Amino acid sequence: MAKKIIFQKCNFNIIYFLFYIISAILSIIIQYNNYPLLWSGDIPDKKIYIISYRFLLLYTSNISDFLALIPYLIHKKLSKVNKKIDNLQDLDINTESSDINGTSKLIYNNGEPLSNKKRKKTIILYFIIIAGLDFLSFLIVILFTLIFQDDLNSFAFNCVSPLNIIFQFVCSKLILKIHFYKLQYFSLFLNVVIFIIILVIDIFIFIKEEQLNKYAYLFHSFYLLFLSIEYSLGKKVILLGFISIYFLFIIRGIIKFVFTAIFSLIMFYTNKEPLINIKIWFSSAYRILINISNTIIQFFENVFLWIIIDRFSPNHIPLALILKEISNFIVSMILNGNIQDNNILGWDLYIRIILYLILIIGVMIHNEIIIINICGLGSDTKYFLDIKVEIEQLYSDTDDPEILKRYETLDEMDDKDIGIDNIKKNGE
């Protein structure tokens, strides 16, 4: 019989998931060395400095986008060198061809499609929306802090991850027109169920600890939605404009700088204290070094995440984010030495671990890294479609009368009560 669970072969590009996790761990360690300043006894009003810290992250994020100028220029220079080599090779080939034909005429082919005005306008519009969404993801956190005088944290092992997965899958389907088959709908349903279970546990804990803030869920939902739309639109721009992620970072940084400057100007005239208090984060050489390191790590974390989007798809982001959540939980537990700091009582720890393992499997199923061949769930996957093409090719090319007799029509091949492995074995 055919296998019920099939694992796809690993791609070398999977190493970027590892790089992303490493950069995310370094980021949380650096922020841990900076963030305790908020809880020192020397600060008269800690909430003011929470707001200033969020502004600091907005500014360092904007600066990190401009760091992409370095790899962009390097990539551009290497592309020019490779293009010159290709042109020389084409010149040699065309010269040999002209000698054979008795003519010195050279033929030049431009393989790059010309972008029309409509495409350029569309790409520019997408750039503005992407930069706006990235800015809004920071703004929503700042607004929550300003309104409720509290910090909107993404706690480890809560309903954030399954909700993020749902948003990303739905945005990819609507924006990138990614078609869902049975396996993808099964994965989406699985994430919805896990989200409801974890949400119920979270609400129970927050009510018991008297820390429930229903607006926190609303603000965090918008935060995740903005990022999910940004990633899907970013993939669309990369495909539509044939651009690199470094160029996307630079343009996003320029446009986001305008949004940030306008917002900072409004804040300066309405409530300048958070902006003035940013100077405390540069009160010593050590803190300056911490913030420079954080800016650099932010850049690498973004680079590896967008490489995953570029090399794979936005639907692979949830896998990276889940691994990041688990890593952050472990690192936070080691640094804090207290599991309760992660909004976990203890009795629900094992339930959450099991649910997160199911989440990881669900994301891998959605992206066909793992294929479930039960109840026809895997019938429309690329793996089985490729095998069906191989079988059709085998049937059309073979002269073996036994195979021709056994599979007189392609429909009969599908109806045979044998596995895919046996079919392939018969063709060898």
Asked if the model's pLDDT at residue 280 lies above 70, the reply is yes
H-state helical runs in 111-181: 117-148, 160-175
pLDDT band at 428 (very low <50, low <70, confident <90, very high): very low
Asked if the model's pLDDT at residue 158 lies above 60, the reply is yes
Residue 190 near residue 358, CB atoms below 8 Å: yes
Q: Half-sphere exposure (CA, 13 Å, Cβ side) for 98?
A: 11
What is the pLDDT at residue 63?
94
Output the six-digit token pair for 339: 């599991």
Q: How far apart are the first and last CA of the chain?
A: 18
- Going by C-beta distance under 8 Å and a sequence separation of 6 or more, which residues neighbour residue 138? 54, 57, 58, 61
CA 33 to chain centre: 26
The mean predicted confidence, pLDDT, of the chain is: 76
pLDDT band at 110 (very low <50, low <70, confident <90, very high): very low
What is the pLDDT at residue 309?
92
Q: Which residue has the higher pLDDT, 33 or 103?
A: 33
What is the pLDDT at residue 272?
84
Per residue in 361-388, pLDDT (tens digit) is 888 887 777 777 666 665 665 655 555 6
pLDDT band at 22 (very low <50, low <70, confident <90, very high): very high
Burial class, 362, CB count within 10 angstroms (exposed 0-12 / middle 13-18 / buried 19+): buried
Residue 230 near residue 130, CB atoms below 8 Å: yes
Q: Which residue has the higher pLDDT, 155 or 213?
A: 213
What is the pLDDT at residue 337?
61
Per residue in 175-188, pLDDT (tens digit) is 988 877 777 888 88
Provide the Cα torsion 240, 321, 66, 283; round to 10°. Answer: 160
Q: Tell me which range, 42-56, 78-92, 95-109, 283-297, is most confidently predicted by mean pLDDT.
A: 283-297
Q: Which residue has the higher pLDDT, 238 or 424?
A: 238
What count of other Cβ atoms lies within 10 Å of the Cβ of residue 234? 26
Output the six-digit token pair for 135: 């800015």
What is the pLDDT at residue 104?
36
CA 344/CA 340 separation, integer angstroms:
5
Mean pLDDT of 337-343: 52
Specify the pairing of strand 5-7 against strand 370-372. antiparallel
What is the pLDDT at residue 202?
78
What is the pLDDT at residue 226?
95
Per residue in 133-145, pLDDT (tens digit) is 999 999 998 998 8
Q: What percent of the chain has pLDDT over 70?
A: 68
Per residue in 227-257, pLDDT (tens digit) is 999 999 999 999 887 888 999 999 999 999 9
Unique residue bearing structure tokens 């721009």: 237
Asked if the model's pLDDT at residue 403 lies above 50, the reply is yes
CA 292/CA 277 separation, integer angstroms:
18
User: Is-above-0.95 flag for pTM?
Assistant: no
What count of other Cβ atoms lies within 10 Å of the Cβ of residue 9? 5
Q: What percent of the chain has pLDDT over 90?
A: 24
pLDDT band at 400 (very low <50, low <70, confident <90, very high): low
